[in-house]
């Protein structure tokens, strides 16, 4: 951890304007009112901080992004005191099943919630604590320093603060303004699709949530996630294809037919089904911002590093960033200056850097598992498939409490095994 003592600060850190915080527009300006921005604003507002959030939108529009709150994310939202605000908009899941090749190979008790991304963002924004001010505007330019930060808005206003947090939607122009650039790790990393499905009247769905893995690598399908979504069953399908792949257009136009063709044993497992909504889609490039060490400016969430939704760690990254940063900020504001060495505490924090590394490396390995035809990954894939087939075969015996040799696998273990 960097030395934050007064003796470690330069003269530029000790400017009089930096110490006279009442003259500043706020202590912190958050650029972006997406999930990262509104969550951080809520947590800082609870601490009694003066915060301005700048975003051109009055509310979050319908967007196809994270639609589930997983176990670790539930714990962090509960720690923030924010989970209760999301419950009226969500559906609780208490058990998730994992399936492969037409069989269930495990069931895991879990606390999980299905919720629309826009509902999540808007619900948190509606619970804004005192001291948090939302400005409907766009940031055009940031002049950063080790003392006071100056933010020019498109409407002509200028804000001043001690710390700027870039939380989402950072344009290339704004990155260039700060001397930063994105490094693309994997273009066209994955595609995600969201839609509703309904069971036939003869055989309604008998599960709350199911993760079903593809049998054939040729489909380039990672898995299909089905989960309760209020009164409907929601489906998220993740594939490793580019947006220009003809398969993508085919699936969006005829999802029922493509699902039955590429996941042929699914209906035998869950019963007859049909897609009852339009298909939403989104593509993901893996990227990371190079050398973000700046005075006065810190980056969180997708502003700093993107996440592959197939790994299920997008919200892990967001909420871990909020958790770590909300612990750092009180210490930073307790002494003059906002130097690079001070802000390095956030980027170098073991939980923050560890989550980022796991999400990035895991996403790359996850894609290799499904698509790589090298000997190493073919062997890894076949061993994993054999294990799932074995667990699926002995599961009926285990349910009858007949002793059998098996492997206990949690939901998180299944995801880590696929990239191990």
Which token pair is 27?
């202590």
409, pLDDT greater than 80: no
412, pLDDT greater than 50: no
Q: What is the pLDDT of residues 145-175, one digit of tens each?
A: 999 999 999 999 999 999 999 998 777 788 8
The span from the CA of 379 to the CA of 230, in Å, is 40
**φ, ψ at 259 (rounded to 5°):** -60, -45
6, pLDDT greater than 70: no
User: 255: which DSSP letter?
Assistant: H
The span from the CA of 85 to the CA of 101, in Å, is 39
Strands (E), 158-268: 158-161, 163-166, 182-199, 209-213, 221-229, 232-239
Determine contact, residues 305/359, Cβ cutoff 8 Å: yes
Determine contact, residues 95/108, Cβ cutoff 8 Å: yes
User: 406: which DSSP letter?
Assistant: -
% of the chain surpassing 90 pLDDT: 80
| Confidence band for 2, pLDDT divided at 50, 70 and 90 | very low
- Find the mean pLDDT for residues 207-235: 93
Q: How far is CA 295 from the centre of its chain?
A: 26
Domains and CATH numbers, the chain: 6-91+115-184+287-364 (3.50.50.60)
- Identify any residues that bridge with 288 across adjacent strands, giving them in sequence order: 183, 305
pTM of the model: 0.89
Q: What is the pLDDT of residues 287-303, one digit of tens each?
A: 999 877 899 999 999 99
């Amino acid at each position: 951890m960097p030395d934050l003592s007064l003796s470690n600060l330069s003269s530029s850190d000790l400017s009089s304007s930096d110490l006279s915080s009442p003259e500043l527009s706020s202590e912190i300006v958050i650029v972006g009112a997406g999930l990262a921005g509104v969550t951080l604003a809520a947590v800082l507002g609870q601490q009694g901080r003066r915060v301005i959030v700048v975003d051109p939108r009055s509310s979050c529009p319908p967007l196809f992004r994270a639609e589930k709150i997983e176990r670790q994310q539930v714990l962090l939202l509960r720690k923030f005191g924010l989970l209760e605000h999301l419950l009226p908009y969500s559906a609780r899941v208490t058990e998730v099943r994992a399936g492969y090749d037409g069989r269930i190979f495990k069931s895991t008790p879990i606390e999980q919630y299905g919720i629309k991304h826009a509902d999540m963002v808007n619900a948190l924004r509606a619970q804004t604590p005192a001291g948090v001010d939302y400005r409907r505007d766009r940031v055009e330019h940031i002049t950063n320093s080790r003392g006071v930060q100056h933010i020019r808005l498109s409407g002509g206003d200028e804000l001043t603060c001690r710390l700027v947090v870039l939380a989402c939607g950072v344009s290339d122009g704004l990155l260039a303004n700060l001397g930063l650039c994105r490094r693309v790790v994997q273009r066209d990393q994955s595609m995600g699709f969201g839609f509703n499905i309904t069971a036939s009247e003869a055989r309604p769905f008998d599960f709350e949530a199911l993760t079903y893995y593809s049998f054939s690598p040729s489909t380039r399908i990672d898995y299909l996630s089905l989960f309760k979504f209020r009164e409907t069953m929601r489906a998220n399908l993740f594939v490793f294809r580019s947006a220009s792949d003809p398969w993508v257009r085919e699936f969006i136009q005829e999802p029922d037919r493509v699902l039955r063709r590429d996941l042929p044993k699914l209906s035998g497992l869950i019963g007859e089904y049909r897609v009852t909504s339009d298909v939403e889609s989104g593509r993901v490039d893996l990227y990371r911002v190079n050398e973000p060490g700046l005075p006065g400016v810190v980056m969180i969430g997708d502003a700093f590093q993107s996440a592959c939704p197939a790994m299920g760690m997008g919200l892990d990254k967001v909420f871990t960033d909020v958790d770590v940063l909300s612990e750092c900020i009180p210490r930073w504001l307790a002494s003059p200056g906002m130097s690079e060495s001070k802000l390095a505490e956030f980027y170098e924090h073991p939980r923050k850097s560890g989550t980022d590394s796991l999400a990035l490396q895991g996403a790359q390995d996850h894609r290799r598992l499904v698509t790589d035809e090298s000997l190493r990954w073919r062997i890894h894939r076949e061993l994993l498939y054999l294990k799932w087939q074995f667990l699926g075969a002995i599961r009926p015996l285990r349910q009858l409490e007949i002793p059998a040799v098996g492997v206990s696998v949690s939901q998180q273990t299944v995801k880590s095994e696929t990239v191990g």
